[in-house]
Chains A and B, each alone.
Chain A
Amino acid sequence: MCGICGLMMDDVELRHSPVGSILQDMMESQQIRAQDGAGIAIFNKSNAGDSFKIKNFRKEEMSDYAIDEVKSSSENVSENLQKISQDPECHFFSFENEMTIFKETGLAKDLDKKFGIRKMNGSHGIGHLRIATSSRVTPYNTHPFSTTILPDIAIVHNGEITNYNMLRDSLELEGFTFHTDSDSEVIAVFLASRILKHGDIERAHREFVTKADGPFTYIAATPDSIAIVRDKFGTRKGIIGYNPGTNGQPPFWAMATDLSALDVVGATTKIETPHPGKPRIFYRN
């Protein structure tokens, strides 16, 4: 019963569009679905460069946690990632270049109060409302999930990956590291592993759908794409709509669990449902 959403601005000239504000409206409109956690990932190409941010939670501060941010250059980023991965006092949060992730337990409106989501601009983004099912209510089990494998990959997920342990074991055998107990993290790690292997994001999504069991819909974002993917039997819903530039909004594609999220931001033309098992991908112009 989690709620997920995402959007991709339709115009290359509008990369610095009010993605945060639109996402925030979409999340708040779906708040009825879940109240345990909220999070966003927003992509803004003007942040891209040679430096990386590695964010992590300090374990001893978990009751009232703080986010540590390790700024890294291309030269020392691998070393810093390895240090954080091996530090038992750290919980990995995100690996960012042009992407910014904020996530927290509680409601969407509280996330905005704390991090100023509505003021964030960019070209695309994803959001999540969590109701805890398979892991505890903590900031580090909140979505979006990122990876230490590649920067700027984020996923949000509604449902269950029932063969999560098998997929995780297989990826760990390949040498990839996990940082949480959540089944959702396996989507991010799998996609990153396949991008490393063949660099084709559409193929990566198709491969995940083939290998993953259980009822799920996820939205995944990379610097150049956003995709909504439903399990092969369509047992979790997902809908897509387009706002052609009404209500003072620039044109954009939006996707979400609930229709209310499309309705609230005027993305109610070209409504469609992604075909089960077939990734629906939108690329940044």
Chain B
Amino acid sequence: MYTLDIDEIRALANDVPSTSSGSNEFDLLKKKLDERFQVSIPEGLKNAAIEKFGDVASAPILYENLTNSILRKKIEDGENNIIIKNPRALYRIGVFGFSEPVNLNLTVEGNVGNFFGAFCNFNGTWTVKGHAENGLADKGYCGKFVIDGLATELVGQNNQSTNYSHGVDILVRKGCMERAMAQARGGNLVTFGAGFNSGLYMSDGILMNLGEPGELFGPGMVGGTIYAKQGTTTGKGAVIKKLDENDYEKIKNVLRTFERDLDIVNLDAFSKTNSKLDITNIKHDEIDFREFEKIVADENTVH
């Protein structure tokens, strides 16, 4: 188990005296970081930081880069359980760019900023004990996310399915803002509420909204399936259909991934004739999937 407190990086950077050129500041910081974390910061960051943010220590791009460099090094060293403290909604945490899936359970104690876990490619669970911002798991390949809070726009955007993975599985306990699973090409999202235009241009994957009915779901969708409560409205290119037996099987498979996280009772028996599930998300609820319908691409508009 490794714990990274991002405030420690901030404190290291803030201890370095600020200079107008930024060169000494950068070199000093580089030395300290090498001593403490055995990671190096690229020279290119120096100019970018000074040009955009006036100095090195106050540049958020520095903390993004360092956080990911430190974590990447730990993963390469064989660590597969990591806790992050004090993320303070820093952008782009967990963007590692590994070409092969890595084994990693990651817990973030706090809020994460835009593009958390973008391009993710892992086996394990990444848990956020807070909220997540735009582009959660953007262009992700594989892995499982559990977000305890809400997530803003574009959750699971461009979620990928490939020859080795069906895509990323995401649970958002307090619901998503607009355009969840936009342009998804795979993966599964289970959420308790989703904003306008969710499923925008979706071509594969499953969006399951267990919260209140949504509006304008699935505009321009050409594939994939959205499950949502009756009363949900669709955008152009999407149509509403009744659930069939195959849908119940698909719903069961998606919920299987989050069976423990949602404390689902008797999932094995779930079927069209046994359509109620006891689910405990923020609170306990009995969900009857007979009240649900599916939204799919309108075959009359898909060419």
Q: Taking beta carbons and an 8 Å cutoff, which residues of A are in contact with B?
A: 28-29, 31-32, 35, 107, 109-110, 233-235, 237, 239, 258-260, 263-264, 268, 271, 273, 276
Residues of B within 8 A of A268 (CB): 111, 130-131
Q: How many A-B residue pairs have CB under 8 A?
A: 66
Residues of A within 8 A of B52 (CB): 35
- The listed residue (A28, A31, A107, A234) touching B177 by CB distance below 8 A is A234
List 14 A–B pairs whose Cβ atoms lie within 8 Å, in order of A's numbering.
A29-B88, A29-B89, A31-B53, A31-B58, A109-B54, A233-B197, A233-B216, A237-B134, A258-B113, A259-B131, A268-B111, A268-B131, A271-B149, A273-B195
- The listed residue (B60, B88, B153) touching A263 by CB distance below 8 A is B88
Q: Is there contact, CB below 8 Å, between B54 and A263?
A: no
- The listed residue (A28, A110, A259) touching B113 by CB distance below 8 A is A259
Among A109, A259, A263, the most chain B Cβ lie within 10 Å of the Cβ of A259
The 3 closest A-B pairs by CB, nearest first: A260-B89, A234-B178, A259-B89
B210: CB under 8 A from chain A? no
B238: CB under 8 A from chain A? no
How far, in whole Å, are A273 and B175 apart by their CA atoms in the complex?
10
- The listed residue (A32, A107, A233) touching B61 by CB distance below 8 A is A32
- In the complex formed, the residue of A with least CB distance to B176 is A273
- In the complex formed, the residue of B with least CB distance to A273 is B177
B234: CB under 8 A from chain A? no
How far, in whole Å, are A264 and B133 apart by their CA atoms in the complex?
15
Given A260-B113, A263-B88, A271-B149, decide whether A107 and B133 contact each other with a Cβ distance below 8 A. no
**Secondary structure call for the A interface:** mixed
Q: Which B residues, 150 to 205, have Cβ-Cβ distances below 8 Å to chain A?
A: 150, 152-153, 177-178, 195-197
How far, in whole Å, are A107 and B59 apart by their CA atoms in the complex?
12
Q: Is there contact, CB below 8 Å, between B90 and A276?
A: no
Residues of B within 8 A of A109 (CB): 54, 58
Q: How far is the CB of B5 from chain A (nearest CB, A)?
A: 15
- In the complex formed, the residue of A with least CB distance to B63 is A32
Given A35-B53, A268-B111, A273-B177, decide whether A259 and B152 contact each other with a Cβ distance below 8 A. yes
Q: Is there contact, CB below 8 Å, between A233 and B178?
A: yes
How far, in whole Å, are A263 and B90 apart by their CA atoms in the complex?
10
Residues of A within 8 A of B211 (CB): none
Q: Is there contact, CB below 8 Å, between B91 and A32?
A: yes
How far, in whole Å, are A276 and B111 apart by their CA atoms in the complex?
23
Known: A31-B53, A260-B90. 11 other contacts (CB 8 A): A29-B88, A31-B58, A31-B60, A35-B53, A237-B134, A239-B152, A259-B113, A259-B133, A263-B111, A268-B111, A271-B150
Residues of B within 8 A of A35 (CB): 52-53
